[in-house]
Amino acid sequence: MAKQQFGVLGLAVMGQNLALNVVEKGFSVAVFNRTASRTETFMAGSAKGKNLVATYSHQEFAAALECPRKILLMVKSGSPVDEQIALLKPHLEKGDVIIDGGNSLFKDTERRSEALARDGILYIGTGISGGEEGALLGPCIMPGGQKKAYQVVESILTTVAAQVDDGACCTYIGPGGAGHYVKMVHNGIEYGIMEILAEVYDSPSEYSR
Amino acid sequence: MFAEWNDAELGGYLLEITRDIMAKKDDLDTGEALVELVLDTAKQKGTGKWTSQEAFDIGVPVGTITAAVEARVISGYRDERIEAEKAIKVRPRVFRGDRAKAVNWLRSAAYASIITSYAQGMAMLSRASDEYDYNLNLSEVARIWKGGCIIRSKLLDPIKLAYKRKRRLANILVAPFFRRAVKKASKDWRRAARLAVEHGIPAPAIQASLAYFDAYRTARLPANLTQAQRDCFGAHTYQRTDREGTFHSKWQE
């Protein structure tokens, strides 16, 4: 069987939509989710008939991917990221790339990146914004880590990202946890704007309408 | 209101969805606007809180963002708020002014406060870039935020240009485009903040934004008194405006 060009681990809605987006842009994809039933539902639903292979173990997932492997990790931030990396690592080889696309704390990203670097595995802490719709149609992608790691996945990420008048909404952000740092601040700004709009909606002139 | 604003200089994804949310009628049988039926306790997953915590760690003021985090936190105390409303009777002042005028004030307040939110975030990234040697290209960061993401808006092109012109820009509030925009909005920004204060409506993010703007554009702040107090009770010493050196005084002698 021909190997897949890109892997997505974690099939919550963001993972599903990003996998579909990558397939839509012409790359072959392998997916894996801890709970098999979710994978089955996905394969029978929105992934049906697409260039997408379902796998049911970390080993099978890694074996389905061409080398160097390019794996997008889309699991809940915190300990699930560490768990998945630990389970995946025995099946990876030097030069493989893990992209953590969740909202990880930048300090965790730096720690993971350093630990994986000892085994020659490349790690890109990547902020992804756009919600469900952005994930499917084109999100904003903020990758950080080693530049050489970014270069391995650059063509896929820039193709998958939203496109605006002056280019793709994806650029190499900086070393270490820079990608997740920028995403964190992005979300901080988002909190601010949302609250400002809520306060405007709550204003006395609006009340007494 | 939101629909109109979205067509103008304020346009952006969050305004767009707010417009659509306002127009949405309940799918069930109430016939009401759906947003009015949503429970008023907001969730937060962490990144907003982390931004505030980290901003304290590296010493960057992000009052707008912190106000937003706190607004979500206090919303979580719904039971207490319900009791407190009964216990603390403050007769609400009814709005009797010109609604059209007030809407213009709110629009300026929203515009200037949203600019401030971006200003704080970008200033934080600028500081972090030095702190962690990220070597961030803030013009590029603003550019990629133009599409796909939740904070995409018409303000990102001028932010991109501001950092392109001056890579080490201290704050977008001093860049020509934003300096003009906020100056023009500032009168109505104050009126909107006053409107909230007078009517007893909490508007922490708008007020924190205004306070940030006023502090940032003030050459001399009352921190001299703070330093004097610190020196008075803890001998923390102070510096003077008129000569070099470190000083300590016996303030109560």
Helices (H), B9-98: 13-23, 47-58, 63-75, 78-87
Evaluate if residue B218 carries a pLDDT over 90: yes
What ipTM describes this predicted complex? 0.96
Residue B5, pLDDT score = 85
Chain A residue numbers with beta carbons less than 8 Å from the beta carbon of B52 are 188
- Return the percentage of chain A with pLDDT > 70, whole number: 97
Using the Cβ of B199 and the Cβ atoms of chain A, whether some distance falls under 8 Å is answered with yes
Cβ neighbours, 10 Å, residue B164: 15
Mutating which of B2, B24, B47, B74 best tests the A interface, going by the most A Cβ atoms within 10 A? B47
Mutate to test the interface with A, among B150, B191, B209 (most CBs of A within 10 A): B150
What SS3 state is found at B139?
Answer: helix
- Is pLDDT above 90 for A113? yes
Amino acid (1-letter code) at residue A201:
Y
Say how far apart CA A66 and CA A6 lie, in whole Å: 8
Which pLDDT score is estimated for A123? Answer: 97
Closest CA to A145 of A96, A103, A112: A112
Determine whether A107 is an active site residue.
no
Please check whether residue B5 is in contact with residue B110, taking contact to mean a CB–CB distance below 8 angstroms: yes
Q: At A10, phi and psi to the nearest 5? A: 110, 110
- How high is the pLDDT of residue A208? 45
Shortest alpha-carbon distance between residue B223 and chain A (Å): 26
From A76, A190, A199, A206, the catalytic residue: A190
Of B180, B198, B9, B211, nearest in space to B107 by CA: B9
Of the residues B149, B152, B188, B189, the best mutation for testing chain A's interface (the one with the most A CB atoms within 10 Å of its CB) is: B149
Give the pLDDT confidence score for residue A209 in this predicted structure: 44
Main-chain phi, psi angles of A164, to 5 degrees: -120, 180
Pairing verdict, β A163-164 and A167-168: antiparallel
Torsion angles phi and psi, residue B60, rounded to 5: -120, 130
Q: Of B180, B184, B140, whose CA–CA distance to B159 is shortest?
A: B140
Of A162, A184, A197, the CB nearest to B147: A162
Q: What is the largest CA-CA distance in chain B?
A: 74
Which run of H or E residues covers position B212?
helix B204-216
Of B144, B202, B204, the CB nearest to A170: B144
Residues of B in contact with A77 (CB under 8 A): 46
CA–CA distance, B161 with B165 (Å, rounded to integer): 6
pLDDT tens-digit readout, B179-201: 999 999 999 999 999 999 999 89
Interface of B with A in 116-145 (CB under 8 A): 116-118, 120-121, 124-125, 128-129, 132-137, 140-141, 143-145
Out of A147, A183, A195, A206, pick the active-site residue: A183
Contact B41, B75 (CB under 8 A): yes
Q: Which residues of B touch A134 (CB under 8 A)?
A: 148-150
Q: What share of chain B is helix, strand, coil (3-state, %, to 5)?
A: 60, 0, 35
Residue with more model confidence, A152 or B2:
A152
Query: A180 and A127 in contact (C-beta within 8 Å)?
Result: yes
Q: Using omega within 30 degrees of 0 as the cis cutoff, is the peptide bond preceding A204 cis?
A: no
pLDDT value at B105 more than 70? yes
Q: Alpha carbon of B13 to those of A171, A182, B2, B150: distances in Å?
A: 21, 19, 12, 6
Q: What is the pLDDT of residues B143-161, one digit of tens each?
A: 999 999 999 999 999 999 9
Tell me how crowded residue B241 is: count the other CB atoms within 10 A of its CB. 6
Residue A206 confidence (pLDDT):
67
pLDDT band at A207; cut points 50, 70, 90: low
Distance, CA of B106 to CA of A175 (rounded, Å)? 41
Tell me phi and psi for residue B81, to 5 degrees: -65, -40
Full-model pTM: 0.95
